[in-house]
Structure 1
């Protein structure tokens, strides 16, 4: 899906301008909006004069290059940033544990590659036997009717625990847990960096204790709402008394 999306965006970038303009002109004609001449000079709105002062470009250049192509380039860049080659490989490998259609996407080679992303949990000595472990796992899953109607990785994880097979196939279950934890860990990191943009200002512009203290209270605000003001004051007074005694 990622590759298809990028190919479609590239095709729109290369060949989609004319069809896009036809839709825009049709929309403007429908609502009696004046269509500017593409050969005319682009007039910068007053509120943007300070940004583009002195630039003389045609309407065609502005709308095609500075708007149409720029937006598509931003989308392509965003896809490349969020899904580099290693992330794409990781997503493909993760999908091989999907239980849909009786594990139709199962691929031992890709799951072995996935396990190599976690050398602390899957050492080189354990990887020697992991191929046989995966073979035993898939044979058991495809013969067990309890696993035939599963749709998601989380359902597979719960069913393995429910049936006690998480202990029988402990290595595969460990890999499954790591796969399920990955989106949560990624989202947590992104949440922290998003929070930094809200907390960071001129007074807190360095990664010191003050910055981390503010980040903790901002990100874990639900937890701190349960802390009363009196508890904070008492804690501060106790700390102050101890410092004076020292």
Structure 2
């Protein structure tokens, strides 16, 4: 039994043990402190489930006490069924509960070491010593017995108590968790939009707009912008989805106003508009074009009128094809347009003339790259929406849906954003 007093030679955590390989013989058991601390409760529970180790061999070993042979009496089991244990190999008696609920350091609990560490062997005085060991209601043995009974009560176990606590706090926890997820997705969506705006570099763009019903039967309007970046490459980027309660041109215009303002852009940067062929959207070409027109629009915005662009695109589908359109661009002369603008000093200040000159330099490239638009990108956004908002996640909020779609559709751009953002 010297193992009960040996100090650990290493500071490492004991290994996890297989409960089915625990020793039943009380004389061979390690002290509980020698097991992994994370397994203490389950080890106690395992031994209590087994019950006190009470073998009944055909003949117990004789032990000389004074001049007489004494034997362990199996009838003592009946008197102390729940705690009295016997080791056949050592011919000694032990207490299960005191073993499980004491630190097993010799001398720490006077009078109890015999039933935990050394083993009790004085069979002549066994009945008397058993009663002394049990003691009164406040004895160490009875406290250990009470601890064992509490441990075996399912409703008082730690897993059950944790389950009850989590049930009581479940709603609050889910609210906090969802709020945290919402904030994370919103932050990444904002970073993706910032990357898009950086690519746009405050340049001109075309709008691609389409609508579709989601799994909750809510009408959603997806918005994609088409633009030429600073490297001269044409890009189509998804910038958000908006829930629309009606599909009139005035209402949809207000929604487009909202998302463009949210991005920090201006309608004066719009060079084209694209919609699908649905009846409720096709009528918007005229309605929105007129709504977007303002008396202070410059000459470039007038040139990029949506209706004229639509007519040109229709001609591209005719037998003349692209050659006819490109031949018309060959007569374009930005120097003549600059001279024309100078005849209207009330409409073009010096600063506006400088801005116009820069606009005209990029006009042909941007017009060709932004106006011949299609809504395939928007349709792909709706395909993504069916994955993000499905039957199992049909109660997503509008902002959460939009932010999630931005991260999902623009995943390549999302991958370029570091996890730790500079604040």
Query: How high is the TM-score relative to the length of structure 2?
Result: 0.18
The structure with the largest strand share of the pair is 2
